[in-house]
Amino acid sequence: MNRPLYVFYGDEILTYYFGPSHPFNQKRVKLSVDLMKDLGLFSHKNQLLPIRQASIEEALAFHQEKYINFLQEVEKTGDIYLDQGDTPSFRGCLQASLWIVGATLQALDAVLTESVYAFNPGGGLHHAHRYRASGFCILNDAAIALEIARRKYGINKAAYIDIDVHHGDGVFYGFYAEDWLLDLDLHQDGRTLFPGTGFVQEIGEGGALGLKRNIPLAPGASDDSAMYAWREVIEPSIREFKPEMIVMQCGADAHYGDPLAMLSWSNNTYTNFARSIAELSEEICNGRLLLLGGGGYKPSNACLAWAAIALTVSGQEAPDSLPDSWTEKFKEAYGYSPPESILEPETQDPRTLQSTQKTVQNLKALIQSRITPS
């Protein structure tokens, strides 16, 4: 893992703002990038780069024109909800969303035209569907990037991995019948969490049968469950499919203490996943790896998890303690002290590990029975 890492960030993404009482706030992204700076991530070959705004035409690579036209009208006043109550509109909401998409497309361009990894921690808005908003997500930057990778760059096989605690339904169902995309989604069981989807039985259709794989985890599932699912499903699936590029949505809301979810991962899982996916990208697709942010509603969890991912793919170790300069910035922004270190004890839960093992066995058996010729 000797490639440079390009991180894309601009304060323009702070305009994606639902109000002071809403749980989704991009200030956590700014503070995560500040932590990367204060840890010296950009003092060597790695770069922090500004972002651009995507065009309407680029958004239409995934989204329906009728939906984009609707957003163009709605953003003039910003006085309605875009879904059943999670995603309010606001003045300029489409323009703000296009900044997030633009940052992801810049990261995509870097991955496919330069020998680098790329990370947009402000991206990963995976709930938006082709025709509607959902779950704090107005435009689906991940899905747009996947479509543009195929159309502009001729990518014939891509893999999308989603480790957000919430099922990435916008991407999963948006490409459910597409045989060029392997979708691997590790999340809290949809029977216990929004959006209520992402079950083992959903494995794609038509030529994509077996290429959509959900691994729902029971509430309380810890590092041991996460790593078991990764080793047993995600790693072998990537090796079997042999994608030409990998996109990973790195939502940080599966970390213990997140107020909107019930999994119990530590930063060890994010570090281990980052190391593994970087190694897999080198082994299989010449290091073509695009990383995106996502959920994470305890700000300190998101900041530390994304910094851990950035350090790991850069081949750097997390220090024993966080810089005082950053700790003060965080306290000023949020009014409480963050943890003293990225480093944490591993979490384990034998009960939920057994549940995860059963889920993985069921998924493997289903895929074997549905796609193996009799």
For residue 142, the domain's CATH number is: 3.40.800.20
- Residue 194 · residue 241 · CB < 8 Å: no
- Per-residue pLDDT band for 374 (boundaries 50, 70, 90) equals very low
Mean pLDDT within 284-313: 99
Mean pLDDT within 208-216: 98
Annotated catalytic residue within 22, 44, 126, 127: 127
Quote the CA–CA distance of 305 and 299 in Å, as a whole number.
Answer: 10
Q: What is the pLDDT of residue 15?
A: 98
Q: Which residue has the tokens 């072998």?
A: 236
Task: Give per-residue pLDDT as tens, 256-277.
Answer: 999 999 999 999 999 999 999 9
| pLDDT above 90: percentage of residues in the chain | 98
Mean pLDDT, rounded, of the chain: 97
Task: Give per-residue pLDDT as tens, 40-96.
Answer: 999 889 999 999 999 999 999 999 999 999 999 999 999 999 999 999 999 999 999
Q: What is the pLDDT of residue 44?
A: 80
Q: What is the pLDDT of residue 52?
A: 99
Q: What is the pLDDT of residue 43?
A: 84
Task: Give per-residue pLDDT as tens, 96-132.
Answer: 999 999 999 999 999 999 999 999 999 999 999 999 9
Quote the CA–CA distance of 276 and 179 in Å, as a whole number.
Answer: 24
Number of compact structural domains in the chain = 1
Quote the CA–CA distance of 176 and 261 in Å, as a whole number.
Answer: 25
If we measure between CA atoms, which residue out of 72, 128, 118 comes closest to residue 95? 72
Query: Is 127 a residue of the active site?
Result: yes
Task: Give per-residue pLDDT as tens, 306-355.
Answer: 999 999 999 999 999 999 999 999 999 999 999 999 999 999 999 999 99
- Per-residue pLDDT band for 372 (boundaries 50, 70, 90) equals low
| Domain, as residue range, for 311 | 5-371
- 26 or 2, higher pLDDT: 26
